[in-house]
Homo-oligomer: A and B are copies of this chain.
Amino acid sequence: MKKLYGVGTGPGNPDLLTLRSVNIIREVDIIFTPNNKGKNMALDTAREFIQDKEVVYLDFPMGEVVKKDYEKAAKIILDRIPEAGKGAFLTIGDPMIYSTFIYLMEELEDQEIHIEISPGIPSFLAGAGEAKVALTTKGDSFILCDEFQEDLLDYGDSLAILKTLRNKEELINTLEENKYDYDYLKKISLEDQRILKNKEEILRDKNYMSLILARKEGKK
């Protein structure tokens, strides 16, 4: 049977790939990745292990992606993996966290293909290590979200908040009012990584590859 691996390439530095992911990328017949206009970070991260292997770019529309788009991409994957061969779909971070792979997997689950997942280091986790901020200690809860709402602060001793561009000022004010410390992280693990703590600097930044780690003041 054909086999597809969902491979998480981590936050962007090649040395944050797991040994398993490297082995998979080396051994598969064909590589799939979403067709990002411009830079393709998953592909860049894995480049040295892909070498001259065939890469198929899967198109997803900008803005809302619907079931039909995933069906189409799933069909391409199924068609392009050779008989009894193997393919890898590369995705930044981890395939089970805010990833296109979750939907592709759903489209493929009743097909004649075996699916396996090779986890990757999510950016918020690498970011916590770089900022030396604990995500969770005994008895704590940690919340990961891409749409912040103030109520989450009732339950999260710490939070990783993705997609902060939309309402960054309001978000930071809410964190301050509720006595949370915060770090703004961008391009984690890459050469031009930045960790910002100054509110004005954070508000000026417009990078979409950014996230905020927040933790209740006084917590370890």
Is the beta-carbon distance between B145 and A125 smaller than 8 angstroms? no
Interface of A is mostly: mixed
A19-B14, A19-B19, A141-B152 given; A119·B125 CB < 8 A: yes
Is the beta-carbon distance between A15 and B10 smaller than 8 angstroms? no
How many residues does chain A have at the interface if contact means C-beta atoms less than 8 Å apart? 55
Closest partner residue, chain B, to A133 (CB atom): B96
CA distance A118 to B18 in the complex (A): 12
From A28-36, A97-105, A172-180, give the one contacting chain B.
A97-105
Interface positions of A from 1 to 28, Cβ below 8 Å from B: 6, 10, 13-20, 22-23
User: Per-residue 0/1 for A100-116: is the Cβ within 8 Å of any B Cβ (1 yes, 0 no)?
Assistant: 00110110000000010
CA distance A128 to B14 in the complex (A): 23
CA distance A95 to B131 in the complex (A): 12
* Minimum distance in angstroms from A139 CB to a CB of chain B: 5
A22 partner, pick from B13, B19, B138, beta carbons under 8 A:
B19
Is the beta-carbon distance between A130 and B117 smaller than 8 angstroms? yes
A117-B130, A220-B103 given; A137·B98 CB < 8 A: yes
- Chain B residues whose C-beta falls within 8 Å of the C-beta of A85 in the assembled complex: none
* Minimum distance in angstroms from A183 CB to a CB of chain B: 12
Is the beta-carbon distance between A156 and B143 smaller than 8 angstroms? yes
- Chain B residues whose C-beta falls within 8 Å of the C-beta of A154 in the assembled complex: 151, 155
7 pairs of residues in contact across A and B, judged by CB atoms under 8 Å: A16-B19, A102-B137, A103-B220, A118-B129, A119-B125, A140-B145, A154-B155
Starting from the known contacts A102-B134, A117-B130, A117-B132, 19 additional A-B residue pairs (CB-CB under 8 Å) come to A15-B20, A16-B18, A16-B20, A18-B18, A94-B135, A96-B125, A96-B128, A96-B134, A97-B135, A97-B136, A98-B138, A102-B137, A103-B220, A119-B126, A141-B145, A143-B144, A143-B155, A143-B156, A144-B144
